[in-house]
Structure 1
Amino acid sequence: MVRLVLKGTNKTFDSLQTDYKVDDYSFSILANSFKRRTGQEWNKKYLLSFGLVSNEGNLTNAGALFADDCPLWQSRLYCTRWDGLEKSDAINDAEFAGDVLMLLREAMNFVKSNTKSGWKKLPEGRKNEPEYAERAVLETLVNHFSHRDYTVMGGEVHLDIYNNRLVVTSPGGMYNGSLIQDLDIADVSSERRNPILANVMAQLDYMEKRGSGLSRICNETKALDGYKEELKPVFRSTPTQFQTIIFASEIASNVGDNVGDVSEIKLSERQQNIVDLIKKLPTITGKQMSETLSVSQRTIERDLSAMKEMGILKREGKDNDGIWAILS
């Protein structure tokens, strides 16, 4: 009914005005991302020109999705690294709620922390052999956060990583009701369920306005060494959800099995910051780390647990008076 009313009034969910006052919210993540990705200083007037704030000074739903403390509780992300090829035992999992740029950052960090990044020796040096093309993963996540159906109150974006593939699923099928598997992705029209949200992502250079995201996912994956036609990304949709499947590079999956191939651990930016803090102060606590890095203590504990499992860190002594040891 909500979707029918929106279409009947020629409105989109992200354009609707909320009761949230702009003065009660900050946009530091959006401002920092804008400066970093465009090289321009953020100006508060962009909130109005981008459609994130109404003339009355209220946030639109798009504005709420970009606010630091996003008040829309359906803006959530569930991440799971499964042990095997199907959903069985989970090796690692995480849940996040908040603004779309934070969710995008955490999703990319989760992928980097739970996939292989190897390299192969060559006569002139070495060559990186990642499991997944980073730009293809980024494009996938941006598409799902930008085009998902936010009117589904009990839905969220799911990121599932298996031994041979990465799967992203979000609420809402194709906006025009068609099924993506019945279409040639090169001819898919750029119809946007959330045009304001998509436009801001385009302004941040996260996505293009020509609707070429699916083709780019395929092209970036195709550029990996060892690519075969059966590794081509798969797109599926139903009336209620959209799913992207990216298969792992066979060369990267076999890193360590061949002579001259060596596994390499790849940390997220936050995990590297944690290691740097420990180098400076081995007795530092999780609470001190969370305050220094401006993230929750639960997030720090999750990163510490993951790095202990990877053999990077070890806790020596008791929790209250112990120290951290960096193993590799």
Structure 2
Amino acid sequence: MEQTIPPAESSIVEFKREWTETARETFCAFLNSHGGRVYFGVSDDSSIVGIDKPDEISRTVHSIFKFAIHPSAESYVQTETLKIKDKNVVMVTVLEGSEPPYYVTIKDNNKKGRVCYIRQGSSSYEANDKEIRSLYRKGNPIPYEQRASANQNLTFLTLAEYFKKSNVQFNEGKYQTLGLKDLNGFFTNVGLWLSDQCTAETRVGFFLGNTKASESDGIFTFSGCIIEQFCKIRDLLRNRFGFKNKIEPYTLSSEGYRNEIADYPELAIREALINLFAHRDYSFENAQATVTSFSNRLEFLSFGGLPQGVTKEMMLLGISIPRNKTLADILMRLSAMERYGIGIPTIFASYENFSVKPALVCAHEYIKLDLPRLQQIPSDLTERERAIVSYLKQNGASSRKQLQDFVKVSYGTVINTLRSLEAKKIVVKQGAGRDTKYALTISLR
């Protein structure tokens, strides 16, 4: 019985009329995908044209899998010469590799070096960074936080101070117990994140309007030990939004206290911030996690999407698996985090008695949590009016001159702006003459 070939190309079948260096791309793509077969001596329309030197092609193929593909994949390829219509067809069977991502050395002048390819439909194409990360996770079952860090020169002076404040013992003998080192004595990625050398950054921005196109009211970038980042950002948000806690180093008054009504439930901010750090995908090395304050909401954004096996519905019910379990364990040791999974339900419960509710968006590449502001500023204010409201929120009752100096406008302009805010019942005038001051109405403090 004469041997046959598939009727057309597909995600696991490719035809080559003759040997061509582009076959390297196909081999690599099959290794990184679900395997497949390449038929040499067959045209694109599945016509049999044959190969004159099948043994030469077989030797070339095995050489590529042994020397040109990285890691070596010699055991994942088989070649066989088929006789179809009295012509030789070389069938190359490629199995799915167990150690992706695979790279192949390309000789093309436009693509020199090692390139990673994957399969989509009947085509092979170069994988992007996101796809390579996905391949790496598929090929390495060890969680990213437990893998050896690229930086092995780590110190933990800052972390030691936080352990001391929490009355928890910390020394080099605890490195492996805490997960900062693996069983081979190498510092792990979680060790890197908690070290003084941590390069993962978190950006906090404040905007006077509802979008980033509005005027900025301060942007801060935090780096270094993740525990310290958490504490500094928590204190900055407390300071901005009226919680009655002593704040350093971002004090707004000599006493370091705020006495205004909070814009957000403090518990919601705390849990949202914990989730930002505990569930963040730190393999996105150059992507900052962000906390952004707008006039109507506080947005927490982290890259990486949901951990494998976790759905949005599970998170809302309090059923959750932290992406970075070791990091979550240390956060709990330092009393920064409650037991796993209660963060999101706690956030929603803190808004139970309010008409506005949080919004959770779980996309493939990111998780975004929006906390609505409880004391919302009207959206129809001008930029100058928003600037004055922001100043009064931070500094309390202020004189006309203080406000004029802040917005840098003429006497007449600042007076007209204040009258407009009074008419909108956003600002109230207090005192008379030289003692006149302007303050926010109680509902907006």
Q: TM-score range by the shorter chain?
A: 0.5 to 0.7
Q: Distance in 2 between matches of 1:49 and 1:86?
A: 45
Code of the aligned partner of 1:194: N
Looking at structure 2, the residues matched to 215 and 309 of structure 1 have their Cα atoms a distance apart, in angstroms, of 41
Distance 1:198 1:3, change over 3 A: farther
Aligned to 1:63: 191
Q: 1:32 aligns with which of 131, 151, 161?
A: 161
Given candidates 320, 337, 347, the residue that maps to 1:190 is 320
* Secondary structure, aligned partner of 2:151: strand
Q: CA deviation at 1:36?
A: 2.2
Contact 1:19 1:58 in 2 (8 A): no
| Deviation of 1:248 (Å) | 1.7
- 2:142 aligned with 1:11, yes or no? yes
1:101 deviation in Å? Answer: 1.3
Which whole-Å CA distance do the structure 2 matches of 1:62 and 1:309 have between them?
44
TM-score with structure 2 setting the length: 0.49
Which deviations, in whole Å up to 9, do the C-alpha atoms of 1:252-291 show, x marking residues without a partner? Answer: 869xxxxxxxx7759xxxxxxxxxxxxxxxxxxxxxxxxx
Structure 1 runs of 4+ with >6 Å offset: none
The answer for unaligned runs of 5 or more in structure 1 is: 119-126, 255-262, 267-307, 311-328
Aligned with residue 333 of structure 2, among 193, 200, 203: 203
Superposed CA deviations along residues 28-75 of structure 1, whole A, max 9, x for unmatched, are 2222222323x33323322210111124432100000000122xx3x1
- Cα pair distance change 1:65/1:144, threshold 3 Å: same
Q: Which SS does the other structure have where 1:130 is aligned?
A: coil
Written as runs of structure 1 = structure 2, the 5 A alignment for 1:1-328 is 1-21=132-152, 24-37=153-166, 39-70=167-198, 73=199, 75-87=200-212, 88-116=214-242, 129-176=261-308, 180=312, 183=313, 185-222=315-352, 227-229=353-355, 231-250=356-375, 265=394
In 2: Cα distance, 1:117 partner to 1:40 partner: 27
Contact 1:132-1:221 at 8 Å conserved across structures: no
Distance 1:158 1:80 in 2: 8
Relative to structure 1, is the Cα distance of residues 309 and 193 closer, same or farther in structure 2, using a 3 angstrom cutoff?
farther
Equivalences, count: 239
Which one-letter code corresponds to 1:82 in the other structure?
F
Structure 2 unaligned residues grouped into runs of 5+ = 1-131, 245-258, 379-391, 396-404, 408-445
Change (3 A) 1:156 1:17: same
Alignment deviations for residues 229-264 of structure 1 (CA, whole Å, 9 cap, x no partner): 3x22211110000011111223x869xxxxxxxx77
The alignment-based identity, stated in percent, is: 22
- RMSD, aligned α-carbons: 2.9
Q: Which amino acid aligns with 2:232?
A: E
SS at match of 1:129: coil
In structure 2, what is the Cα distance between the partners aligned to 1:117 and 1:205?
19
Instruction: Tell me the distance in 1 between the aligned counterparts of 2:406 and 2:187.
Output: 42
Equivalent position amino acid for 1:89 in 2: E
Q: Work out the CA distance in 2 between the residues paired with 1:129 and 1:253.
A: 14
Relative to its length, the structure with more helix (as a share) is 1
Distance change in 2, residues 1:187/1:115 (3 Å): closer
Change (3 A) 1:188 1:139: closer
SS at match of 1:160: strand
SS class of match (2:327) = helix
Q: Aligned pair in 2 of structure 1 residues 57, 141: CA closer, same or farther (>3 Å)?
A: same
Higher relative contact order (CA 8 A, sep 6+): 1
- Cα pair 2:240 2:394 within 8 Å, conserved: no
Deviation at 1:83, TM superposition (A): 1.1
